[in-house]
Amino acid sequence: MINRYCVIQYMPDLSGEAINIAVFCFGEDGARFASTEQWDRVACFAQRDIAFLRDFVREMDEKCAEGKLNAQMVEVMVSKWHGSFHVVAPRASTQNLDTLFRSARMMYLGHMEEVCNG
């Protein structure tokens, strides 16, 4: 079975530099979403108020908890935030969903985050 994952990044300006703020894994067995807990690092990188980032993550968490989070939903939600976000194109994996999710969290967010299993 093929599962997929994507990384959601925040880009505060047009420089092209970005910081990873979340990972989203999905497949036939459901969807998993996790966000960074290092908001102080994100705030330092952004050099501005990041309340809207937390709102975005909260909205994603709610959708995941409701079982309404899928790849199309992520694209729609990201598009609402006026270009501040970049979703790395989904990549395929043969790992089962839970293993893929653990790997993606460690690789792209750097530590164990709170998990939503939708």
Say what the pTM is.
Answer: 0.81
Q: Are 30 and 115 in contact, with CB atoms under 8 Å apart?
A: no
Cα–Cα distance between 57 and 9 in angstroms, integer? 12
Cα–Cα distance between 5 and 71 in angstroms, integer? 9
Is the pLDDT at 57 greater than 50? The verdict is: yes
**pLDDT tens digits, residue range 32-46?**
999 998 899 999 998
pLDDT score at 111: 62
pLDDT score at 113: 43
Q: How does residue 74 score in pLDDT terms, banded at 50, 70 and 90?
A: low
